[in-house]
Amino acid sequence: MLAAAAPASADRRTFVLALMGNLICSWSNNESLFIYVLMILLRTDEASAAVVFATLNTTRARLDLIQRLAKIRVSDKVLSKNLTALIERFSESTKVRNELNHCMFIFDSSGAITHTQSMRLMETRSSLRFGEIKALDEGRLQEMLRTTHEMTKINREIWDLLPRLEAHVCGAQPQSVSVDAA
């Protein structure tokens, strides 16, 4: 019955999937750009930075490493603030990406995607529930569009930051790490 009804909702389903694909592709490109940030902060070549990047198995670990290296390599307050702001914006966008990338999609009887259900277990003292269910309504689609546009801005800003970061790091001596910071 669902297979017979699905062609009627194909355009909307294709639109939703295209939005998700654009968001995930933009996110992935931006995450990969952080390899170049890491390369500059480590003062190494691209292949070595990529090895370090790939060895860390979560985005959070990769961004934590970049932030920690920036604390010892970047003394320019404005540059440091720019990098931190980019990482924070990327992390916010990551929440939307993760929500869509790690969920189950709920379809109605015509084959339209109507909701997502988080794959995260929610445990209380007395119960265990399978993740939150959210409508895939117009507001959520607009959030996906806004996030994709934000990803485009972040991408351009990372590219803009790279030469400034490189000039600073290559011209600046690394700061020593204090005992309480280590």
Q: Distance between CA 10 and CA 67 in Å, rounded?
A: 43
Q: Distance between CA 18 and CA 9 in Å, rounded?
A: 14
Q: Distance between CA 41 and CA 174 in Å, rounded?
A: 10
Structure confidence by residue, pLDDT tens digits, 8-64: 678 888 999 999 999 999 999 999 999 999 999 999 999 999 999 999 999 999 999
Question: Does the structure show a pLDDT above 70 at 175?
Answer: no
Structure confidence by residue, pLDDT tens digits, 132-148: 899 999 999 999 999 99
Question: Does the structure show a pLDDT above 60 at 75?
Answer: yes
Q: Distance between CA 134 and CA 132 in Å, rounded?
A: 6
Question: Does the structure show a pLDDT above 60 at 177?
Answer: no
Given a contact cutoff of 8 angstroms between Cβ atoms, the answer to whether 168 and 41 are in contact is: no
Residue type, 52: V
Q: What are the start-end ranges of the H helices in the chain?
A: 2-5, 10-42, 46-55, 59-73, 77-101, 138-171
Q: What are phi and psi of 131, to 5 degrees?
A: -35, 170
Residues contacting 81, CB < 8 A, separation 6+? none
Q: What is the mean pLDDT of residues 86-99?
A: 95
Tokens 């996906």 correspond to 144
**What Cα–Cα distance (Å) separates residue 132 from each residue in 61, 63, 125, 128, 139?**
26, 27, 18, 12, 17
Structure confidence by residue, pLDDT tens digits, 95-124: 999 999 999 999 888 888 999 999 888 788
User: Rounded to two decimals, what is the model's pTM?
Assistant: 0.83
pLDDT band at 182 (very low <50, low <70, confident <90, very high): very low
Given this model, what pLDDT does residue 122 score?
Answer: 78
Given this model, what pLDDT does residue 5 score?
Answer: 67
Which has more confidence, 97 or 1? 97
